[in-house]
Amino acid sequence: MASGYDIIIQQGATFTMAVQVNGVDLTTGYAVRMKGRASHAATAVTFSLTNGSGITLSVSGGNSTITPVLAASATANYTAPMAGVYDIEYENNSTGVVTRILEGSFYVTPEVTRA
């Protein structure tokens, strides 16, 4: 069962967070992805990250750390205020088993100081 965690994304600022996955080395043989949408039923995607494209992976002592990053140039283009939902999951490339590890709501706060 996925853990729940709500996040705040600041419009125009770099967003990053670290998520630890215990007992799994996700650096080899896994696809990791994170998507955000306005609602669970929405077809449009607000953001989409994968390992190698917005998500970095590291491993230490058999535990993996997933670090998604949304660049400031990307968040500057988000309409704010805005709310939605997101999740992070990984897929075993050899078995096809998908595990959702984190899910929740996101909220984009408006930027005041902009270029």
Of 64, 37, 67, give the one whose Cα is nearest residue 53. 67
Q: How confident is the model at residue 2 (pLDDT cuts 50, 70, 90)?
A: confident
Q: Does domain 3-109 have CATH number 3.40.190.10?
A: no
- pLDDT of 115 > 80? The answer is no
More confident residue, 8 or 2: 8
- What is the structure's pLDDT at 48? 97
Q: How confident is the model at residue 92 (pLDDT cuts 50, 70, 90)?
A: very high
Q: With pLDDT > 90 as the criterion, what percentage of the chain qualifies?
A: 93
Helix (H, G, I), strand (E, B) or coil at 80: coil
Of 39, 102, 37, 34, give the one whose Cα is nearest residue 70. 34
For residue 7, give every residue at least 6 positions away whose Cβ sits within 8 Å of its Cβ, in sequence order, or none: 15, 17, 86, 104, 105, 106, 107
Annotated domain spans of the chain: 3-109
16: its two tokens: 């990053």
